[in-house]
Structure 1
């Protein structure tokens, strides 16, 4: 990003978004820098950031090892995409907010005149299904049978429409309804109606055991394309002069229904609304400022970031900074992609930990581990009841690879298979080796530590962020054979 410009320019990334200096869009770059100061002081992990105002991106950056060309798991940001499909179907006259959920699934054989039978499409959109507790996607991902059938097994404790209980199960059923009406997945339905008109690149959406996209999660997309979702809503459903979403739907989806902080699958604030995913994947729209921020993070909850956003935005949009502030922010963000060195902290002996190790009985079902060093590469292999799973990493350097190492319990229920990974290892003590795996399409960063002592190998594994356990039980092993 260079100094002030009087007219936007398009970038070379091919995302179709214009770029302009902050001050040219009446944005104070010093406020953005102050926001970054607060985030870093608080120790919060932001992986990327894009800020748009009045037709152009005014600031953007991706920390190493993430990048503009990488997809990113959005988690519950997906819900706001699913809502678009519901709005389009209603606008086409194929669906109504008052339609009863059970009417689309006669095979469920729901008893008439029951709370379950009275649940409506709007009840799903507003998370007022009548259920007493949340069903997280991390739970459903472990279920191999029909999720539609599982949904109708959940007790409807409250009268639908009366009590807000956030649940990805409700979003899944919205996706299932789209499929019942159209005969195609919500992904396929939205491709020509939303993704292609917005010039979105690759949008990858998981598929559940019913052949249905999880409506509450499962989308991976580029940060620029997530930003476009917010821009479309900031522009009341219009993109480059063409109506993509009906204005009435955008207005309805982004205002509260039943509770003050939730609309139709959008989180509502006092002067903003947001598509929000776990570990703080976020698109936040400030309609009064015609501004949108998209970012991906690894944080416990959005409430740790929102005070900093509220402090500096929309204050940054209240007045314009100068070229000096533009340049200072540009220099700062230019350092984000720098690759950190990976140097050993001690001289270690690979012979201490290399080879095949028999793992003592453990609750994870891991039977053996193999470590192999060759030049500047390390190969880790875990053997469990399902077979062998491994990863290749750099020794004192980073390499891009893929891995099928099991670890769903550390990754919000996701089995990350053949996922792009930046991996590297180093000695942190003469008898202890550390291996770090950046799963670059997600918030997750795993660390293995192998420690040799008195003929035994201890194995630790922990993750930077998760909705459940963040560590494996300590494993111990002896040499095999």
Structure 2
């Protein structure tokens, strides 16, 4: 088991800091971005911005902290792509090899036997629909390869989870290590990333999702991509990989989608109207803008990623200067104060249908809530933290509540290992609690996918 103290002591950011103005960014533009994200109700959780390799802004919205590693959903795929890059460099994988070659014991009918590594990286397996359920079945690889694509591999773009999972399983087969283990000496340690948790299916990390990472990890990855695979002046990713992976390998425009999803797809990365990006469901973003020397890392909980991208394009990009600006101490202080007081709102429960009911009771320090097999504390004037057992892992929950003007009660319970939070409400005079998700998890029926081992969940 990784050393807990070492995990907690790892720096939230591994890049040096500088004032925004010294990097050609007005502090007021960064404040405008923060305000825009909050006004859009995109529910930002952590933000880090770097230009020319220097961190110019960073902050977390309480109860999230910069040192919290949270589920980044499909942003995990770009970390997985790095693992494929190393496996190719080390002669273990071949971009033009059929993925079925790495599982000789599994029968792969017809077009399934033709799917190459590069087809999986570019979401061009030939399937018309995503395949997810076989991944959680008794034999994921056999279940996925049994589903023959409707089209020739390499000809049709369909965003999917099956290809990345097969890549993850192949790396485990070839190296005897899960992707996270394989990446530790090759990527994580060179980027200053400590031990991280990646949710598994069978012997393999999920690959397509499941990585729990800090916003500083995302920023470090983005900076490495911006610098062509180097970090801190040292080569990390194989020479030429970033150019290859960030190029368009298949068009995405034929399908109706927002503008930043119409720019084409690389190797487990999207092209954008500005630069390229890694992203994940519910608003996890790593934006890489080579022309501007800019990297933006953002974790959040929203159903509208395009609105988040628009916020960056419209508030930050127009303000960038080609050279340093005069220092603006008042604007810098205002930005620092804004980020220091940032906090998740104690929002009342939405109109969504409750997914569970439970009970609440005063306990002297606030309240104790019991709901759907979970028991956690709720603070009355601060965020109260509880590690809630879920199977062999834990859900780190930070919760705060208050009495309402009508004599009822409401609270917000943030699962800090994920983008998600629960909204709780009890009617006047009642101890019965209705529980709703602010933004539901992708598989809300299985909370284990949000959980992490206690060593990785934080304090």
1:401 corresponds to: 386
Provide the C-alpha distance between the structure 2 equivalents of 1:280 and 1:340, rounded to a whole number of angstroms: 17
The separation in 2 between residues aligned to 1:177 and 1:57, in whole angstroms, is 36
SS at match of 1:314: helix
Q: Which of 287, 293, 298 in structure 2 is aligned with 1:295?
A: 298
Deviations 1:105-147 (A, max 9, x none): 1222224xx11111110110000111111235xx578x35232
Q: CA deviation at 1:460?
A: 1.9
Seen in structure 2, the aligned counterparts of structure 1 residues 470 and 127 have a Cα distance that, compared at 3 Å, is closer
Which one has a bigger Cα radius of gyration? 1
1:420 paired to 2:407: no
Unaligned runs of 5+ in 2: 1-9, 252-262, 349-353, 446-459
Partner of 2:3: none
1:334 to 323, 326, 337: 337
Taking the aligned partners of 2:392 and 2:30, their CA distance within structure 1 comes to 34
Does the 8 Å contact 2:359/2:431 carry over to 1? Answer: no
In 2, Cα distance between equivalents of 1:278 and 1:268: 16
Bigger shift: 334-343 or 310-319? 334-343
Which of 117, 122, 125 is residue 126 of structure 1 equivalent to?
Answer: 122
Q: TM-score, structure 2 length as denominator? A: 0.83
- Relative contact order, higher structure (CA 8 A, sep 6+): 2
> 2: distance between equivalents of 1:270 and 1:416?
43
Contact 2:71 2:210 in 1 (8 A): yes
The 10-residue stretch of structure 1 (198-207 or 389-398) with the greater mean CA deviation from structure 2? 389-398
Residue 318, structure 1, aligned to residue 321, structure 2: yes
The separation in 1 between residues aligned to 2:114 and 2:345, in whole angstroms, is: 59
Equivalence map 1:240-389=2 (5 Å)? 240-259=232-251, 260-319=263-322, 320-324=324-328, 327-338=330-341, 369-382=358-371, 388-389=373-374
Change in Cα spacing, 1:327 to 1:442, as seen in structure 2 (3 Å) is farther
CA distance in 2, matches of 1:258, 1:378: 53
TM, length-normalised to structure 1: 0.80
The one-character-per-residue Cα deviations of 1:339-367 (angstroms, maximum 9, x if unpaired) are 87999x9xxxxxxxxxxxxxxxxx98x8x
Unaligned runs of 5+ in 1: 1-11, 346-362, 406-414, 472-481
Checking the alignment, whether the CA contact within 8 Å between 1:74 and 1:219 is kept in structure 2 is: yes
Is contact 2:42-2:304 (8 Å) kept?
no
How many equivalent pairs are there?
420
For 1:442, the equivalent position in structure 2 comes to 418
Residue of structure 1 aligned with 2:157, choices 159, 164, 174: 164
Which residue number corresponds to residue 182 of structure 1? 175
* 8 Å Cα contact 2:421/2:438 also seen in 1: yes
SS of the equivalent of 2:240 reads helix
Summarize the alignment of residues 443-462 of structure 1 with structure 2, pairs less than 5 Å apart: 443-451=419-427, 459-462=433-436
Cα distance in 2, alignment partners of residues 341 and 108 from structure 1: 48
CA RMSD of aligned residues (A): 3.0
